[in-house]
Amino acid sequence: MKNYQAPNQEMWLGRVSQAQLYLHEKVELASLKNFRKAEGNEVALLGYCCDAGIKRNQGRAGAMEGPDAIRKVMGGLSNHWDSSFKINDFGDLVCKGDDLETQQSETTTAVSALIKKGYFSIVLGGGHDLAYAHFKGIRRAFPEKSIGIINLDAHFDLREVSSRGTSGTPFWEIAQDETDFHYCCLGIQKAGNNCELFRTAKKLKVTHLSNTEFTLAHWARIQKSLLEFMARVDLIYLSIDLDGFSSAFAPGVSAPSPMGFQADVAMKTIAFLAQSQKLVSADVVELNPHYDRDNATSRLASSLIYQLMDDLKA
């Protein structure tokens, strides 16, 4: 893998307890070049350092620095798990210039290899173009299974590819590859998706709830939608786009929105999916440290990943 970069211990910061009281003391460094099979309950963290797709989509560059920003905050979080639950940092895939296609190809290979060896992979973005590569990796690992995508996002990301893929095209690209496309998007904003995108979503039979529906006050409806969606598939891939959150929580993204959803409903959704026993892989995308304030968005991303790992452990 020419884009591969080994993990760096210096990215994991925090208080020193010498008793694994903090995540930076618990996380183990691993290599994609030679790694063992997972032993029971293990998480694999992998960075997708790329904003080429965002640039192609006329967004703000900077998301390629997202993975390390997440690591720096996560390291200081408290560790409440024993040695039976392992967290492995497999380093980064770093996009060279505008070569998004190589980046995606190598990401597909890496995700597939991690899943086949028994890890629950959590990929740290990077732009949402990651989703196309991530899904292909899951598909390669489970060629005979039906895979449902649940995306927490303000945008469908169903733009048709005109010449090359972007951060706005991943789910359209997946739909072209799949004979049976299963996609659920929670948090859609009407103002952020044009009429053609809504028509595409209807044509592809996409399940979606608006940002005004994706709130705790409507949890019964959300749960019903998720249960109906999950009943149709064998496995679930979760993608969390930070620009779907209100900019009060996530200012550091390519496309911030004051009308986005809140952290509480996202956390409850994550817990619900983790308990389903169908969730096999996840990613958090679109963190742009250049526009963050007091690491608010990095802290949100870290909290979401922490919550997911805690729910998986339970």
Q: In angstroms, rounded to a whole number, what is the distance separating the alpha carbons of residues 109 and 70? A: 23
How far apart CA 270 and CA 43 sit, in angstroms, is 16
According to the model, what pLDDT value does residue 113 have?
98
Number of domains in the chain: 1
Q: Cβ(136)–Cβ(106) under 8 Å?
A: no
Q: What is the structure's pLDDT at 1?
A: 86
- What distance in Å separates the CA atoms of residue 90 and residue 105, rounded to the nearest whole number? 17
Is 24 labeled as ligand-binding?
no
DSSP alpha helix (H) spans, the chain = 23-26, 52-56, 66-74, 100-116, 130-141, 170-177, 195-203, 219-230, 263-274, 296-313
98 marked among binding-site residues: no
292 is in an annotated binding site: no
- Residue 264, marked binder: no
- 128 in a labelled binding site: yes
294 labelled as ligand-binding? no
DSSP alpha helices (H): ranges in 117-168? Answer: 130-141
CATH value at residue 86: 3.40.800.10
Give Cα 179 to chain centroid, integer Å. Answer: 23
Long-range contacts for 25-31 (Cβ within 8 Å, ≥24 apart)?
Answer: 25/79, 26/79, 26/81, 26/87, 27/75, 27/87, 27/88, 27/89, 28/86, 28/87, 28/88, 28/89, 29/88, 29/89, 29/91, 30/88, 30/89, 30/90, 30/91, 31/6, 31/7, 31/90, 31/91
List the chain pLDDT tens, one digit each, 314 residues: 899 999 999 999 999 998 999 999 999 999 999 999 999 899 999 999 999 999 999 999 999 999 999 999 999 999 999 999 999 999 999 999 999 999 999 999 999 999 999 999 999 999 999 999 999 999 999 999 999 999 999 999 999 998 999 999 999 999 999 999 999 999 999 999 999 999 999 999 999 999 999 999 999 999 999 999 999 999 999 999 999 999 999 999 989 999 999 999 999 999 999 999 999 999 999 999 999 999 999 999 999 999 999 999 86
* Domain span holding position 246: 4-313
